[in-house]
Structure 1
């Protein structure tokens, strides 16, 4: 009977990264378990588990209002090119990152405080924003921070593929299945899959994110909320996409431009907050600009039974229309051809920080993307792999910041 040293449950961005880093040690026999992305996302298709990486574009930047997430992103980004070279898969597009907001406002000031290398950023007043990015219009009271290098966007589908390719080349077994049950025995763990496969392993790392509670893989559930996300994908012509070829990703929080949509919902401080990605070619062959909203205008947490249904839908229809109206008014002279909504779910922890922690000496978790983990997933996966394999904390940030919080007192 084959027994793995480590089985990683969850083959998304964090799980696949952990598999790559864990399998780099040839003395450790690693298995990665998780389903393939379904060809069609439908609630009645039989698929129970979905991934937040089912997309073509996610922001990547080291400037952020939270120092912990900024550091995780920076450390991950430093290995993007290495991962591309090892896998032969290109997923990183270094177009830069533009952070814009009301001058002296909370968003801009907190972002400034996270900057470590001022040689890589350009501070832009309103006139400079207009000159450098004439296809975008902002408020007269806005200022910008342009991160010129080591920032842009990643293709999360391709990044996961790259991690899995490298892990496989290093000897990691990849099982395309869903784990239904984990039993603890003296010799290790027995995992039962949806297709009836039994897997034996000495250690387990759970990287199951918002689906962590679905099959009650932990005796005591961790504390988190499943927050619904809606985005608008607005299509442009190929010629328009080419004309915007140097457009950076955009993060905005401020009063908003004079010509912007007046009906778009504002946050508690009366500000508009959104993120914007440049035109990206999607699997249907069309180019789409993507715009997403802030956490402040989310609906309430989804019940676990509703997460699958949400993934198979197009998000909140009213919010999707508002996002499209906003993106039309944020751009200058850009003609959009059509638009549609897409949905995913963010696992939000009480402190909005990731869980990378031991549940027991042989069971650990790497959870809690909080909407920030795509760009940071490689470093989260590395920390988790070292923790479960070596029982060592190999991160410069305090371990306490990554401690798991349970709904009740732990039973393990």
Structure 2
């Protein structure tokens, strides 16, 4: 376990070559999740990382923003109806699950959320989290039940495999295109579904080198990054963000004032007379300084994952004072290094009063002088940090802006303060959170 910021800097950044690989699984289930970017190692990771950089460009991300607004419209319509029916209590988990599943279905897979999509995602994520729990807490048991784990994963990823293969074949057959991440990854392929070569890619101004292009199966596998990784990160940030707004009305008022002052109000707050398609120019999001600080504080207090893990690829000395000295910490090849993200974010030496939710920590006048970047690892840091960081932040800011300028969130008698955490060694999970909502006065 490494918690010293200078050593973390070496592991994740300056000595990255020796720590480029994530912790390998206790068993290799050889499922679709074995081939997504977070699971790859060595040159396989380098090649796929170059392709992800071609997908996650600002130009491509901006094309997908209208679909996020579209999904926000649906949530707003649902909440407006609840308020009209005098039902002002919302279950944050239930509401956000619908929003995030709809956003993921529409922006990633090019389909609207359906009972089948919801059930497929539920089965897949609920299969994986217990598997990580068993692997983490009972490593000796893992090998004994490996066949059962493999069968579980293969059974539960079938829905997405079947859907993706059908959708890709249909688009190739009809020559149709989708404005989604599925299409962007399809454009990275070497051949289409019928073996015909793809020479030029729309995700890059230049022809992609042949060695970087994806096979048909690799194209399908990459979409499995989203149901698990994207869903969990969005769910955690939005859920706890709305919770902190409700229990900190002064912060909520300050955010709403910044949003209304910078990009305009969200209507007159009377429901039916309000335009549900009250979209936001994403270029204005960068001007929302306090919203940026707010999200940074959400990620600090509630990081999605408790730790980062790396595998040492070759014998390496950390903390040495010179290239030929024997001082420092020796990391042998295949050593697993864990970095305690949650503990770092709640260390009072780095963040005074760590349980206090205080976005001002991350305001520009405080950020550079008070925050060591290697004590803040919400998205990781260095070459292997989350490659979708910019898109994720854009999506979070857009959704929060739409909701904050239209609704006021408040604490109910049933709102649990502080939230009740579940025992999960990998990811932050809590009991359901209930909040009240009403139109902004």
**More helix by proportion, 1 or 2?**
2
State which structure, 1 or 2, has the greater radius of gyration over its C-alpha atoms: 2
Normalising by the smaller structure, the TM-score range is under 0.3
The structure in which a higher percent of residues are strand is 1
